[in-house]
Amino acid sequence: MPQNEIRDKLIKYGQEHVLKFYGELDEGKKEMLDEQLENIDLDLLGRLFASIGSGHADGCTDKIEPMPCAVKEKFSAERRNTYYGIGMDVMRRGAYAAVTMAGGQGTRLGHTGPKGTFYVDVPEHMSLFEIQCKRLISRSRECCRYIPWYIMTSEENDADTRRFFGENGYFGYPPDHIIFFRQLMMPMLDEKGKLIMEDRHKIKTGADGHGGIFRAMYKSGIIDDMHRRGIEWIFVGGIDNILVRLADPVLTGYLASEGYLLGGKSIIKRDAHEKAGVFCMKNGRPSVIEYTEISEELAGLRDGNGDFVYGDAHILCNMFNIKVLEKMRGAGLPYHTAHKRSDYLDENGCRMTPDAPNAYKFESFIFDAFSYCDKMGVLRVKREEEFAPIKNKTGEDSPETAVSLYMKGACVCE
């Protein structure tokens, strides 16, 4: 796009401040900025900014109902063994893959570098990547073949992640069974809706949320790669749950034999205000309401037994049949807004580090993809066995709480 068209586009949307340092840039940097600006959808950003603060997801326009979940603990030993056997068959014939989403910024934890490079003592001194790898190695041994492991990174942490794996000998996993792919980025806006400068030639962007996984898998040819390998079932989880079961035969067998193409795991939420989304049916289709978007009334609603009606928390452990990923090819999901702290270059070209949130980040959420299916098999599991997230530096969901849960739960690994 010629420079004058880029300038006109910026003026139209009140974003021409990003050209303030343009005259000082060398040709290479000018090209970099031009290329970035050509690809930014200012119309979309304008709409996203205008919609900030526009209400709860469970407002009067959506019909929200509870989603039934299967309770793993209530399965008879026979039923559980049957699912286990079916799940192991899927893995043995090479029809299973695990995806770890490791593109997040980990702002709350405040660790420099990719979150997967964070170390905990469980009691061995291990990085979060190594913990997941060890679990896959042990399942791979059981099914006598390596399970392909896809790792989603972001523009920000891709090089560091690959380097970390290289330096650590891929933790003993064959490198051709580890496939990295990058998620896409979204520009960030300041509190007045203006694009933020990261550098004189660069607009500040952030990873587009874990829901960006579908676009990223499609664009980087991952779905085709899965087809080539004969994969049918794909587990998708986060990097920061140190009890995550990346290859759970019971969940796999449950979904495969009960006719689901989409599944997930839940735990009962700790209290009405736990910071976790909860499963529900929205307008007749599977969904999750985020804790930031649920009303007080629904969050605290209890049934006749005193149990939460919306009590099954989503723990970012999901499974997709490849048919669902195909159906979604390239589809974008809606964006949600996060108010975050972000470094920026001010109008004088000075780098600023704010100590309070100053920027809006737009992220799509993986669970918005659930509505592509009309039903979903959710397995309720025990928190102490499968959910020990590391989100914050201290307090709730911190390395300390996660390690303590790990030490109790690790022995129950199935």
Residues in the site for ligand UTP, rule: CB under 6 A? 101-108, 115, 152, 183, 207-210, 212, 238-240, 316, 363, 391
Q: Which is nearer to ligand UTP, 210 or 245 (CB)?
A: 210
Token pair, residue 20, equals: 């303030």
Closest to 356 (Cα-Cα) out of 369, 373, 374, 343: 343
Nearest approach, Cβ of residue 277 and ligand UTP (Å)? 10
Nearest approach, Cβ of residue 117 and ligand UTP (Å)? 12
The Cα-based distances of 190 to 45, 48, 98, 202, 298 in angstroms read: 11, 12, 36, 15, 32
Pairing mode, strands 335-340 and 359-364: antiparallel
Nearest approach, Cβ of residue 169 and ligand UTP (Å)? 23
Q: Which is nearer to ligand UTP, 101 or 143 (CB)?
A: 101
CB-CB contact of 90 with 99 (8 Å)? no
Dump the DSSP string for 226-271: HHHHT--EEEEEESSBTT--SS-HHHHHHHHHHT-SEEEEEEE-SS
Nearest approach, Cβ of residue 194 and ligand UTP (Å)? 22
Collapsing DSSP states into helix, strand and coil, what is residue 361?
strand
Query: Helices then strands (H, E): number in the chain?
Result: 13, 22
Nearest approach, Cβ of residue 20 and ligand UTP (Å)? 29
Q: Which is nearer to ligand UTP, 103 or 377 (CB)?
A: 103
DSSP state for residue 177 in the 8-state scheme: G
Sign of the alpha-carbon dihedral angle for 114, 407, 96, 76? negative
Upstream peptide bond of 2 is cis (omega within 30 degrees of 0): no
Nearest approach, Cβ of residue 239 and ligand UTP (Å)? 4
Closest to 279 (Cα-Cα) out of 291, 288, 271, 292: 288
Q: Which amino acid is at 142?
A: E
Q: Which is nearer to ligand UTP, 163 or 323 (CB)?
A: 163
Token pair, residue 230, equals: 């004969």
Nearest approach, Cβ of residue 237 and ligand UTP (Å)? 8
**CA 278 – CA 288 distance, rounded (Å):** 5
Q: Which is nearer to ligand UTP, 66 or 113 (CB)?
A: 113
Token pair, residue 371, equals: 């509505």
CB-CB contact of 228 with 246 (8 Å)? no
**CA 365 – CA 352 distance, rounded (Å):** 29
Q: Which is nearer to ligand UTP, 80 or 336 (CB)?
A: 336
Q: Which is nearer to ligand UTP, 106 or 148 (CB)?
A: 106
Cα 97–chain centre separation: 16
Q: Which is nearer to ligand UTP, 269 or 391 (CB)?
A: 391
Token pair, residue 25, equals: 């840039």
Nearest approach, Cβ of residue 58 and ligand UTP (Å)? 20
Nearest approach, Cβ of residue 106 and ligand UTP (Å)? 5
Q: Which is nearer to ligand UTP, 201 or 210 (CB)?
A: 210
Cα 302–chain centre separation: 29
Residue with the shortest CB distance to ligand UTP: 104
**CA 222 – CA 225 distance, rounded (Å):** 5
CB-CB contact of 414 with 386 (8 Å)? no
Q: Which is nearer to ligand UTP, 115 or 201 (CB)?
A: 115
Nearest approach, Cβ of residue 342 and ligand UTP (Å)? 11
